[in-house]
Structure 1
C-alpha cells in the first residue's frame, strides 16, 4: 500500500479541486449535495482518480439490494475505533458519488463505501478493497437493474480474482453463489426474510429445498455454507461462540442483521465485537431513515422501503394497529419507472391500519390496495394525509424519491 506521504499528481489535485468547486456551486444553487456532479467533473478531468484516492486507504465496500446505506454507516462507526473514516454517508453510491466522498477524506485511514449493485465489480477493480460486505440480492428497479441472477453472476465474475476478504450472508443463496468464486470468505448467518428471488438454484437452475433455516439444491448439491458469525436474537455470535449483545437505536430485525455483518467486517480490521457494537449504538437515523419528526403538531416516523423485500421488513417495524400509515410511491428515474413490483408486496400485513396514499403513483398503489382488500384513502399530498389521519404517531413509508420529497416537506 502506498504511504500517506504519496502526493496526488497535479492532474488529480486539479480534478479534486474542480470537483469540489462544482459541488459547492450546485449546493449554493439549491440542487442537492452536489456530490454526484462534482464527482463526474473530477472523473472527466482524471479518469483514474477513484483509484488514486483509494490507494492510501483501507477500503471496505458494501453492496446489497437492501440495507447497504445503514450497514455502511454502522461499519464506519465501528471502524472509527481504529482510525479516521471517510464514507459516502449520504448514499451517493455510483462511481461519481464515491469519488466525491473520497476526495473529502484526506486524513482518513479507512474508506467505507456503499456501492450500487451494478457497479460493484468495477469499483472493486478500481479501489483494491481489503474487505467487501455482501448482504442480499432481490428484485429492485426492474427496468434498470435486470434480473437478480444476472447481478449475482456479475458479482461472481467481478470478484473472482479479488484479494479482498468477502463478508457474505450465507442465508441468501444468490449471495453465496456470487461470493463462492472468492478465495477468502467469512460467512455470516444474517437471515433472509424475503425468499421469493431464491427458489431456483443459481448454480444449476434446480429447485431449492428449504428445510427450516437451511437451504440446498437437490440436483447439484449447492448448499448453505456453515456460518462463522451469526445473528441470534439480540446477540451476535462470533467465531469463538461468544455472544455479544446488540444495542441499537435503529429498529427491527433487519438492522440487527446489518449489525452482525458490520461486526464481522470490523473484526477483519482488529476491532473487537464489543467495541464495534457499542459504537453502533450512536446511530439514531441514517440519511433521515427512522427519524421521528414533528409536522403539523404530529409525530411522523419516516421509513424508507424501495422494493418488495424492503417493504416486508418495514411492515414488521411499524406500530401495531390502529397506528395510521401513510404510503408514498413515485416512479422517477432513481426509483425505477416500472411499478409492477407493487404486486409482489403483501399489503394484507397492513390490515387494521388506517392507510393514506400519496405520491406520483398513488393510483397504482390504490389499485394494489383495493385488490388486497385494504381500507385506504387517496390524498393529494402529505399535508392533506396528515390532517386526515386519526390520532397517534403516524408511520410514513416511502420509496426513494418519495422519501426525499417527504424530507424536504417536513424540513428534515
Structure 2
C-alpha cells in the first residue's frame, strides 16, 4: 500500500530493466510504444512482477466494455490533486501492458489502471486494489469475447469478498449482478442508453421489467439498487445531495457519466467532487479520441466506436444534418473478425447526413446502410472521402484498427 516503499527484489529489477530495453528497441524499430512486448519480457523473467510493482501503490482498476480509457484518464487527472499517479494512459490493458506502465511509475502514490474485462479478476488478485470502477457490459468482439452474462459471472466470482471499494453503475443490471458479490459497493446512477444486452435477468434468466429509468426482475426480485451518486443533466449529485457542475472538454452524455463515476472514485481517496471535476476539464482528447484535426484543409473530428453500444452513444454526439459523416470499419484481430454486430446498430439516426464508407469491411457496412435506406458513397481512402464531403466539419467514426489507420493517415 502507499507509503510502503519496499525496494524491488534483484530479480524484479532485472525484469524491469530488460522490459524497458525491449520496449525501447521496439519503439526504435517503429513497432509502436513497445509497452506490451516489454511487459511480456518482464513478466517472463519475474512472473510476480505486477504484484511487486503494485505493492506500494493505492490502486484503482477501471473495467467496462465502453469508456475504460477515458474514465481511466479522468480518474488519473482527479487523483493528481492528491499525489503522483502512474497509469496505462495509452490503453494497453492486459497484464503485460499494465506491468509495463507500472514499471515507469516508481515515485507514484496512486495507480489508475484500465483493465480488459476478461482479465479483471486476475489483475485484481495481483494488484490488491483499493477501488474498482465497473461501468458497463455489452456485446463486443463477438468472435472471441464471452457472452456478456459469462463475463458478468467471471467478474462476480472474481470479485466475491474483495476488500476493494467497488464503484458500480446502478443502471446496468449485468454490472449490478457482478458487483453484488462484494461487501462494499458504491452505486452510481450513470445511465444506460444501450439496453439490448439486459432484457433477461442475469440472476435467474427471467424477463427484466424496465419502467422508466428503473429496472427489476418480476420473477426473482433482483432490482436496481439505490444509488448514492448520480448523473443529473450537467451535474453530479453526491451522497449529501449536493449538485456539482460537470465542465468537460470531452463531448456527450457518455463522458458526463464517466465523470460521475470518476468523481465517486476520487471521493474514495479523499478528493472532493469540486476539485475532481475541475481537474477533469484538463482532458481534451484521449489517445486521439475526440481530437479535431486538420486534413486537406478540412476539420475532421475523430470518434472511436467499437460495438453497438458505442456507436449509439457516438451518434448522439453528431450535430444535426447536414454534417458529413465518414464511417470506417475493419475486422482484424483487435476488432473481432465477426461483423454481424453492424446489424444491431440503428443507422437511421444518420438520416439526412451525407455518409461516406471506408475500411476493410466497407461492403459489409454498405449492405447494412442500404437496408437502413441511407444514402452513402463507398470510398477507397480517407483522402477520397474528404474530397467528396460537402462543407462543414467532418465527423469520422471508426472501430479500433480503422481508427488507428485513420490517425496515421491524418497525422494525429
Q: Shared topology, TM-score over 0.5?
A: yes
Q: CA deviation at 1:4?
A: 4.0
How many angstroms apart in 1 are the aligned matches of 2:31 and 2:232? 43
* Offset from partner CA, 1:1-34 (integer Å, 9 cap, x none): 3744311001100000000000000101110000
Distance change >3 Å, CA 2–CA 244, structure 1 → 2? closer
Q: CA, structure 1 residues 28+39, in 2 after alignment: closer, same or farther (shift >3 Å)? A: same
Post-superposition CA distance 1:132-176 (Å, at most 9, x none): 000000000011111000000000000002100000000000000
Q: What's the secondary structure of 2:161's corresponding residue?
A: coil
Q: Secondary structure at the match of 1:113?
A: strand
3-state DSSP of counterpart to 1:251? coil
CA offsets 1:187-233 (integer angstroms, 9 cap, x no match): 00000000000000000000000011000000000000000000000
1:336 maps onto 2:357 in alignment? no
Q: Distance in 2 between matches of 1:267 and 1:339?
A: 40
Render the CA deviation track for 1:96-136: whole Å, top value 9, x for unaligned: 00000000000000000000000000000000000000000
Offset from partner CA, 1:318-372 (integer Å, 9 cap, x none): 1210000000000000000000000000000000000000000000000000000
**Does the residue aligned with 1:178 lie in a helix, a strand or coil?**
helix
Q: Which runs of 4+ in 1 moved over 2 A?
A: 1-5
Aligned length: 412
Aligned-partner Cα distance in 2 for 1:399–1:307: 8
Work out the CA distance in 1 between the residues paired with 2:14 and 2:226: 49
Q: Distance in 2 between matches of 1:144 and 1:54?
A: 29
Does the residue aligned with 1:356 lie in a helix, a strand or coil? Answer: strand
User: For 1:157 and 1:6, how far apart are their aligned partners in 2?
Assistant: 31
Structure 2 match to 1:185: 185
Deviation per CA, 1:277-330: give whole Å up to 9, x if none. Answer: 000000000000000000000000000000000000000001210000000000
Equivalent position of 1:107 in the other structure: 107
Distance 1:195 1:4 in 2: 44
Q: Unpaired runs of 5+ in structure 2?
A: none
Could you say what the CA RMSD is over the residues aligned between the two structures, in angstroms? 0.6
Tell me if structure 1 keeps the 8 A contact 2:83–2:110.
yes
Q: What secondary structure sits across from 1:220 in the alignment?
A: coil
Q: What do residues 382-403 of structure 1 show as CA deviations (whole Å, max 9, x unaligned)?
A: 1110011111100000000000
Structure-2 separation of matches of 1:171 and 1:116 = 21
SS at structure 1 position matched to 2:244: strand
Structure 2 vs 1, CA of residues 231 and 2 (structure 1 numbering), >3 Å: closer, same or farther? Answer: closer
| In structure 2, C-alpha distance between the alignment counterparts of 1:385 and 1:100, rounded to whole Å | 38
Q: For residues 42 and 190 of structure 1, what CA distance do their matches in structure 2 show?
A: 37
- Secondary structure of the structure 1 residue equivalent to 2:105: coil
Distance 2:134 2:4 in 1: 29
